[in-house]
Amino acid sequence: MAAPVYDRIGVGYAEERRPDPRWAAAIDAAVGPATSVASTGAGTGSYEPAATVVAVEPSGVMITQRAPGAAPSVRGVAERLPLGDGAVDVALVVLSLHHWSSWRAGLDELRRVSRRQVVLTFDDSFHDRFWLIADYLPEIADLPLNRPPAPVVVADALGRATVTSLPVPHDMVDGVLWAGWRRPERYLDPAVLAAASSTAALPPAVLARGIARLRADLETGEWHRRHAGLLAQEAIDGGFRLIASSPD
């Protein structure tokens, strides 16, 4: 079996991928009054509510970065959850579905082990329009991990689910790919690029070439001329969608 991708790209992940309080509040509201939550594709533990009783994560590198006092973790994948039928009230997934080998199998497993499911994912069509990708790193659009099922497809698979948009604020704390949409200088920082799976997955030469073009456009003022309209916006729709099912 191949090593989990985050064993390679997850070093230092916890430092850049801190939970944004606005997204955390939305996720907590979607989870609701559950007394037991399983975090699937849990990573370093961002956005896990207090009711989390177990975190399932395939990467040992990510598990070692979980904070002291976080929920106990177990190595595993969404497609074969090491949990019994109906083991928890809620199964939570935060931006990991696009890494699964089979999203259908993973969603079936979520439904097997929980009464309700809460999934944060993204609409990849928004990524194709993002200036970082369209102008500087178009190769990101061709990465398999950037082609998850559409949020409406996920909602249909879960059944009786609501879909809510989570805008990306201009001062986003979590270092998701879109976090610098109004702060382009962020993408000149290697630590920022390493903490987003899309940029971390690119060949180094491809990434360096695109970032060099961005650096040049920032130095000449071309980026600000081209994207001046963004500077007055407080938030942007980056395609992030929070899907919450109702009890069967």
**Tens digit of each residue's pLDDT (9 = 90 or more) over 136-153:** 999 998 887 768 899 999
Residue 61: its pLDDT value, please? 82
Taking the C-alpha atoms of residue 139 and residue 171, their distance in angstroms, rounded to an integer, is: 26
Pairing of strands 240-245, 161-165: antiparallel
Single pTM value for the model: 0.91
Place of tokens 């491809």: 206
Taking the C-alpha atoms of residue 154 and residue 122, their distance in angstroms, rounded to an integer, is: 10
Alpha-carbon separation of residue 55 from 2, 13, 198, 223 (angstroms):
21, 17, 23, 41
Residue 7: its pLDDT value, please? 47
Helix extents (H) in the chain:
6-9, 13-16, 21-31, 60-63, 103-113, 124-129, 131, 151-158, 190-194, 197-200, 204-220, 222-226
Residue 216: its pLDDT value, please? 98
Q: Is 166 helix (H, G, I), strand (E, B) or coil?
A: coil
What does pLDDT average to in each consecutive run of 10 residues of the chain (248 residues)?
A: 48 72 96 96 88 90 85 92 97 93 95 97 90 96 83 95 97 95 97 88 95 98 97 97 89
Q: Which two tokens stand for residue 159?
A: 């059944």
Residue 246: its pLDDT value, please? 87
Residue 15: its pLDDT value, please? 67
Task: Categorise residue 180: left if φ over 0, alpha if ψ from -120 to 50, beta otherwise.
Answer: alpha
